Chains A and B, each alone.
Chain A
Amino acid sequence: DQQVKQNSPSLSVQEGRISILNCDYTNSMFDYFLWYKKYPAEGPTFLISISSIKDKNEDGRFTVFLNKSAKHLSLHIVPSQPGDSAVYFCAAHGSGNTGKLIFGQGTTLQVKP
């Protein structure tokens, strides 16, 4: 069963606009959520994380929102830049674990100049 789902395989936005990437999860015991960005031929790059006790975390152009009641998180990128074009993965960590991350399938973001 897929505990972490990214239902949109791809997203295309115009440079300067907002990109919103979504992620749903099923396990209420997840205690941390993370977003990674991946370029071709590179490993995933850590972007931002959020604890399950918070509902928002910001880092520069990146903001992650967590809605625990809906078991939903989103990554907002404002403003979007062409260099943001990549595959974005959300990942979740289960409480009581020691580091196993469960990843979604990824969303390919294309930012058009």
Chain B
Amino acid sequence: DAGVTQSPTHLIKTRGQQVTLRCSPKSGHDTVSWYQQALGQGPQFIFQYYEEEERQRGNFPDRFSGHQFPNYSSELNVNALLLGDSALYLCASSLVFYEQYFGPGTRLTVT
């Protein structure tokens, strides 16, 4: 049984560019959450998708947007990249809302 998968593993972008990160949830899970983890910090909640709708959102600007597809996979889009967006982006899937299983993450570097 495959766990949560994310692509790409690493990404380097330039300030002002746009990026799309992808996530496939664990088999049987219908909810996907995205987190940003800065170096030396714990993950911070960006938003959560359920039934193809954004159900809850953390304290992130509108430059961060997402999408969930009918097969429950999800994308995270970040527009107008800033240097401060450099971080590890984690996707988590869940069936029980609080018990979330994380993917390996995408390391985004903005130069």
CA distance A36 to B42 in the complex (A): 11
B98 A43 Cβ-Cβ under 8 A: no
B104 A100 Cβ-Cβ under 8 A: no
CA distance A32 to B99 in the complex (A): 9
* Nearest Cβ on chain A to B106's Cβ, whole angstroms: 10
Q: Does B71 contact A (CB under 8 A)?
A: no
For B31, list chain A residues within 8 Å (CB).
Answer: 99
Taking CB as reference atom, which chain B residue is nearest A106?
B42
Contact string, A87-103, partner B, CB cutoff 8 A, digits 1/0? 00101010001111111
Q: Which segment, of B11-19, B44-52, B62-70, faces chain A?
A: B44-52
Which bracket fits the contact residues of A? Answer: 20 to 34
- Interface size (B, Cβ < 8 Å)? 28
Most buried by A among B6, B41, B44, B98: B98
Known interface pairs A42-B104, A99-B100; 18 further A-B residue pairs with C-beta atoms within 8 A, sorted by A's residue number:
A4-B42, A42-B105, A43-B4, A43-B90, A43-B103, A44-B90, A89-B42, A93-B97, A93-B98, A99-B48, A99-B56, A100-B48, A100-B56, A101-B43, A101-B100, A105-B41, A106-B41, A106-B42
What would be 25 A-B contacts, judged by CB atoms less than 8 Å apart? A31-B98, A34-B98, A34-B99, A42-B104, A42-B105, A43-B6, A44-B102, A46-B99, A46-B100, A49-B98, A49-B99, A91-B42, A98-B48, A98-B55, A98-B97, A99-B97, A100-B58, A101-B43, A101-B100, A102-B45, A103-B44, A104-B42, A105-B40, A105-B41, A106-B42
